[in-house]
Structure 1
Amino acid sequence: MLAIAESSCKKNFLELSTNPNQPSVATPQLILTGALKTSAGIINGTGYTQYGNWMGYLSWSTSYQPNVALEQYTFTTADYNVFTPLYANISNYSALTSSTTEPYFQAIAKIMTVYDYQQLVDNYNNVPYFNAIQATSNLTPTYDSGSAIYDDLLKQLDASISLIQKASSSALNPGTSDVMFQGNMTKWLKFANTLKLRLAIRQSNISSKTSALKTAIAATSSIGYIDATFHAAVNPGYLSVDANGGQQSPFWISYGYTQSGTGQTNNLQYQANSYAVSFYSNDNDPRLTLAYQANASGNIVATPFGATSTTPAGQTGSKFGPGLLKSPTMDAIIMNSSEALFLQAEAVNAGYISGDAATLYKAGITASFTEFGVTNASAAAATYYAQSAIAYPTTGAAAQEKAIIVQKWAALNGYGFLEAYNEYRRTGYPDNIPLSVYPGANAPNQVTRILYPAIEYQTNAANVAAQGNIDRFTSKIFWAK
């Protein structure tokens, strides 16, 4: 049976059904709000914290006993299950399409289903797709190749774009039930087109697809993309309240504080990674003290990933700082402006869209400075990228790609662990992220993927077994380098 989430009699804030075989039943407006809230909770929650560690942003706190599964890379099928929540969320969007024929609601459901399925492929490679989410009519769906799924996701985005563009003036606008763009369908078009570009660039290592992908991108390039004027973010009215599973923004619930000011679990268990701290400090990057919390002496206390020694006497490791933990009511990021701008810079560099890659690169840095809350962000960013080590290379496509991805890594801290991990596996950049220093962690290289969850082996055994033996260090997503 396709992974079914554990049920509970206690409902969380705006939670819909968590069982993909029993879709939510409610008004389209309520389903939309709840589904978007759930999408934000997945991408901003604790499901991708392992990538934050492996990609150099976080370290397991030396105040705790070592997390051997994380730091020695000995995780199993019992760890890191995002398979179940993503399919449950997809079932919410399926319920939305079944609840109404209104084109805007249908289009949003398609776009967010693509958003979820891309995460599934990027985490697991082959997953159930064409025969998935069929309720009790098919409890053991077969697996489809990640490449074939990506191909169809591009078609689904084209279909969603067409639905929006061809909708009549009398089409029902989702309005405030759309807790991402408040019914602004122009922004939905640009978000869909940005997702389309991300799907294409993610496959840029596959030369046999290049021509078709460039043609697909050219067909909708006039729509435009997310830029510095807006980002994709959800906010259903987060509150600094612990009731109903917590009503704070999901990133705050994951890494911030409870209503009474006590550190949330991940706030206590993780601290700054010395790789990221060195990265920011080496280039006089003002994001350092916004990404991580300085102590009373003004110092950022960090440790290498896998370190078992304690932090200096009387000091605790730095947690995320005010540039990331803004407030309990902060927006939940789906896609930042900086990520979208760096994506466009690479797309120009690779010949997928027209434009000036250097300008987009600088805009991505400036957007990141703004997102972190750097004082006088535009001027500070200009000073930063004027440094020879940061300036966009004038020649060499490979050097230019490296510069873009490295600065994208710097911008993805906190809200983009999965994307940073994806870009690392696709490009190899940043190329100096260290492996764990935990004793006995003899990894041949960085982890290449997580494992299918145990529940899938229990309920859909034959189909998941058909995927072969998955190795955490050698099994790759189809687009990986």
Structure 2
Amino acid sequence: MKPALKILAAGAFALAVGGCSTFIDINENPNAPTVVKPDAILAQALAITAANYTGGQGAVAPNNQNYNSYASFAADYWGKSGVVSGFGEERTYNYSSSYYGNLFSFTYDNLNDYNLIQQQGTAQGYPFHAAIARIMKVYNFQLLVDEYGDIPYKQALQAAGNVTPAYDKADAIYKDFIVQLDGAIDDINKATAASGSRVVGAEDVVFGGNMTKWKQFANSLKLRVLLRQSQVPALDGYVRTEMTRLQAAPDGFIDADVVVQPGYAQSTNQQNPLYNRYGLTPSGSNTTERSYQIPTNYIIAQYVSNNDPRVSQLYALGSRTVNGVTTDAYVGTDAGESGPPSFNGNVVASRFLLNGGILKGFNAPTPLMLLAEHLFAKAEAETRGLFTGGDAAAKADFLDGIKASFVYFYRPATGSVNPLASSTTGVAEYTTYIAANATNPLVNYDLAPSSGALGKQSVIIYQKYLAMNSVASTEAWDDYRRTAQPKFQPSLESASPRPDRLPTRLLYPLSEVSTNAANIPPNVDQYTKIFWDVVD
């Protein structure tokens, strides 16, 4: 069956929500009925989104393909270690239609879940569930557009009704995102005022049924959507009009990290997906892939050279032995290096720190949008005049964005979220970092010039890049393609003909090539730009 149109029954049998484990026990059955209660499948749909976006392996991501892992290599956060061969496409950027091909089908499967929730929610009197699904459809469709460009949109999600859907233009899809998010907010407001609307409960594993927070998330998602288009000259008027309207939105924006917590536990296929793939198994042994990738020298240097204590929260120390003397050090690899450090010998590589900022623990929630991302996005909009407030507002949000990053990376797996309070874990380390970089224009907003290589926008994107490291790498990779910042190092083995020696997108997967070739846009390769990618 066509992957982009198949209806996934992930959770169709979890009809009761009697325990946390039911939210991540995924059963796929193509013969399952498609008329189900929205509250029975919402949690599983959200857990699948989390695994597709940031996760790794487990029941909800059995083929180990997700946006974060792909982007972590492309954005120069990760390189391969010396204990494994392969990773040829990561090292050369010579992508094929099978490279991360399951992202396409996994995302459409997830979209079918949300489409079912939206349809059944409207029909059965679950308007809040339907509105959540409408927001999450935008979230997922944006992931697809940002990595593939033109995709099936208007004719997608019709199951057997259309097995060869037409492809819509990416820029037109983007404009409809704002329409859909406005509609979802309006749906929530109408449902709140109506009597008899079924409320959302524990099955909302993001906000626990708080619909005001869903509206705020929709607004922050609008900001992500509009900023992505904001470098395109022809869209300047449209973006500015929508930004003005967005800044006046009555419900405001997110004020904490947006995370999914379906009840991760230290059991098989129940752990946090990223930890389950790159951390420890439920029995406490190293996972198979714990040693496969290591940080790059570039990303390590950005922390070390700027007196950034986050480095110790992200990576375990490696070591170098010279003339019989061993020195502890943060040891990475260059992207594409053919013989990088291993975990023995004279050069011992650093790994992701267990129970640190990236691999927080088996029971840590999975982020969908970090508060740091939103605050840096807001700072960029302000410094560029897309929001009012100018540099004074931009500086405040810039600093709060850095602070929110420290709080996220320092917060333990089960830590409470109160991101900007002075007593929160990580704030003391943030204060030390700011004080240590009083003369550094990469940290001190006042010292960054208004234009040029260290312009205000570039410094904001640079700090955002540090904050997205390995947990929201998709946003850093998209920001690079949009702004050409920061200037990280391409692979030593790059086959890219571009001046920056990087790719620009993924290829349409074999599943589409074999079943819907007539509708796939022609002449697309891994260096064909997405419509919003206009800055080199």
TM-score over 0.5 for the pair: yes
Q: By how many angstroms is 1:5 displaced?
A: 7.4
Q: By how many angstroms is 1:201 displaced?
A: 0.8
State how far apart, in whole Å, the 1-side matches of 2:486 and 2:280 are.
31
Q: By how many angstroms is 1:354 displaced?
A: 2.4
Q: By how many angstroms is 1:9 displaced?
A: 12
Of 444, 459, 463 in structure 1, the residue corresponding to residue 515 of structure 2 is 459
Tell me the equivalent position of 1:429. 485
Q: Which blocks of at least 5 consecutive residues in structure 2 are unaligned? A: 14-22, 56-64, 320-326, 411-425
Tell me the equivalent position of 1:47. 66
Q: By how many angstroms is 1:395 displaced?
A: 4.5
Tell me the equivalent position of 1:313. 345
Q: By how many angstroms is 1:166 displaced?
A: 2.3
State how far apart, in whole Å, the 2-side matches of 1:70 and 1:22 are.
38
State how far apart, in whole Å, the 1-side matches of 2:6 and 2:88 are.
26
Aligned pair 1:139/2:163, yes or no?
yes
Secondary structure (helix, strand or coil) at the match of 1:365 reads helix
Secondary structure (helix, strand or coil) at the match of 1:333 reads strand
State how far apart, in whole Å, the 2-side matches of 1:16 and 1:209 are.
43
Tell me the equivalent position of 1:379. 431
Q: By how many angstroms is 1:43 displaced?
A: 0.6
* Count of residue pairs brought into register by the alignment: 471
Write out aligned runs for 1:161-172 (5 A): 161-169=185-193, 170=195, 171-172=197-198
Contact kept? 2:51, 2:66, Cα under 8 Å: no
Contact kept? 2:5, 2:157, Cα under 8 Å: no
Q: Quick one: structure 1 residues 360 and 353, their matched pair in 2 at CA, closer, same or farther if it must change by over 3 Å?
A: same
State how far apart, in whole Å, the 2-side matches of 1:174 and 1:159 are.
18
My pick for the range that moved more, 162-171 or 322-331, is: 162-171
State how far apart, in whole Å, the 1-side matches of 2:458 and 2:516 are.
40
Tell me the equivalent position of 1:324. 358
Q: Quick one: structure 1 residues 67 and 196, their matched pair in 2 at CA, closer, same or farther if it must change by over 3 Å?
A: same
Aligned pair 1:359/2:385, yes or no?
no
Tell me the equivalent position of 1:56. 76
Q: Quick one: structure 1 residues 147 and 441, their matched pair in 2 at CA, closer, same or farther if it must change by over 3 Å?
A: closer
Tell me the equivalent position of 2:222. 196
Secondary structure (helix, strand or coil) at the match of 1:216 reads helix
Q: By how many angstroms is 1:63 displaced?
A: 1.3
Point out 4+ residue stretches in structure 1 off by more than 6 angstroms: 4-12
State how far apart, in whole Å, the 2-side matches of 1:17 and 1:94 are.
17
Q: By how many angstroms is 1:202 displaced?
A: 0.5
Secondary structure (helix, strand or coil) at the match of 1:176 reads coil
Q: By how many angstroms is 1:217 displaced?
A: 2.9
Q: Quick one: structure 1 residues 479 and 310, their matched pair in 2 at CA, closer, same or farther if it must change by over 3 Å?
A: closer
State how far apart, in whole Å, the 1-side matches of 2:233 and 2:32 are.
41
Q: By how many angstroms is 1:382 displaced?
A: 2.9
State how far apart, in whole Å, the 2-side matches of 1:330 and 1:278 are.
27
State how far apart, in whole Å, the 1-side matches of 2:459 and 2:503 are.
23
Aligned pair 1:115/2:129, yes or no?
no
**What residue identity is the alignment partner of 2:75?**
M
- C-alpha deviations, 1:332-369, integer Å up to 9, x for none? 00000100100100111222222311111111011101
Q: By how many angstroms is 1:381 displaced?
A: 4.3
State how far apart, in whole Å, the 2-side matches of 1:267 and 1:320 are.
8
Aligned pair 1:214/2:240, yes or no?
yes
Tell me the equivalent position of 1:274. 297
Contact kept? 2:49, 2:110, Cα under 8 Å: yes
My pick for the range that moved more, 73-82 or 330-339, is: 73-82
Tell me the equivalent position of 2:450. 396
State how far apart, in whole Å, the 2-side matches of 1:173 and 1:107 are.
12
Contact kept? 1:342, 1:405, Cα under 8 Å: yes
Aligned pair 1:472/2:498, yes or no?
no
- C-alpha deviations, 1:204-253, integer Å up to 9, x for none? 112222222222233242335545x41110001100111xxx11112212
Of 64, 76, 88 in structure 1, the residue corresponding to residue 109 of structure 2 is 88
- C-alpha deviations, 1:255-282, integer Å up to 9, x for none? 2221122333432211111110111111
Tell me the equivalent position of 1:151. 175
Aligned pair 1:299/2:335, yes or no?
no
Aligned pair 1:31/2:41, yes or no?
yes
Q: Quick one: structure 1 residues 225 and 320, their matched pair in 2 at CA, closer, same or farther if it must change by over 3 Å?
A: farther
Q: By how many angstroms is 1:53 displaced?
A: 1.5
Q: Quick one: structure 1 residues 259 and 460, their matched pair in 2 at CA, closer, same or farther if it must change by over 3 Å?
A: same
Secondary structure (helix, strand or coil) at the match of 2:85 reads coil
Tell me the equivalent position of 1:73. 93
**What residue identity is the alignment partner of 1:309?**
G
State how far apart, in whole Å, the 2-side matches of 1:313 and 1:288 are.
23
Secondary structure (helix, strand or coil) at the match of 2:294 reads strand
Q: By how many angstroms is 1:299 displaced?
A: 2.5
State how far apart, in whole Å, the 1-side matches of 2:74 and 2:191 are.
44
Q: By how many angstroms is 1:157 displaced?
A: 0.3
Contact kept? 2:265, 2:362, Cα under 8 Å: yes
Aligned pair 1:350/2:381, yes or no?
no
Q: How many percent of aligned residue pairs carry the same amino acid?
A: 33
Secondary structure (helix, strand or coil) at the match of 1:277 reads helix
**What residue identity is the alignment partner of 1:78?**
S
Q: Quick one: structure 1 residues 362 and 70, their matched pair in 2 at CA, closer, same or farther if it must change by over 3 Å?
A: same
Of 244, 250, 254 in structure 1, the residue corresponding to residue 273 of structure 2 is 250
Q: By how many angstroms is 1:300 displaced?
A: 1.8
Q: Quick one: structure 1 residues 217 and 292, their matched pair in 2 at CA, closer, same or farther if it must change by over 3 Å?
A: same
**What residue identity is the alignment partner of 1:263?**
N
Contact kept? 1:2, 1:460, Cα under 8 Å: no
State how far apart, in whole Å, the 1-side matches of 2:100 and 2:368 are.
20
Aligned pair 1:406/2:462, yes or no?
yes
Question: What RMSD, in angstroms, separates the aligned Cα atoms of the two structures?
Answer: 2.5
Tell me the equivalent position of 1:223. 250
- C-alpha deviations, 1:100-157, integer Å up to 9, x for none? 2222111101100000000000010000001110111101000001000001111000
**What residue identity is the alignment partner of 2:504?**
T
Q: Quick one: structure 1 residues 23 and 282, their matched pair in 2 at CA, closer, same or farther if it must change by over 3 Å?
A: farther
State how far apart, in whole Å, the 1-side matches of 2:90 and 2:33 are.
34
Q: By how many angstroms is 1:380 displaced?
A: 2.7
Q: Quick one: structure 1 residues 9 and 154, their matched pair in 2 at CA, closer, same or farther if it must change by over 3 Å?
A: closer
My pick for the range that moved more, 194-203 or 8-17, is: 8-17
Secondary structure (helix, strand or coil) at the match of 1:100 reads helix
My pick for the range that moved more, 349-358 or 269-278, is: 349-358
My pick for the range that moved more, 255-264 or 181-190, is: 255-264
Secondary structure (helix, strand or coil) at the match of 2:202 reads helix
Q: By how many angstroms is 1:159 displaced?
A: 0.2
State how far apart, in whole Å, the 2-side matches of 1:249 and 1:405 are.
28
Q: By how many angstroms is 1:25 displaced?
A: 4.6
State how far apart, in whole Å, the 1-side matches of 2:77 and 2:383 are.
27
Tell me the equivalent position of 2:211. 185
Q: Quick one: structure 1 residues 23 and 468, their matched pair in 2 at CA, closer, same or farther if it must change by over 3 Å?
A: farther
Q: Quick one: structure 1 residues 385 and 363, their matched pair in 2 at CA, closer, same or farther if it must change by over 3 Å?
A: farther
Secondary structure (helix, strand or coil) at the match of 1:472 reads coil
Contact kept? 1:365, 1:381, Cα under 8 Å: no
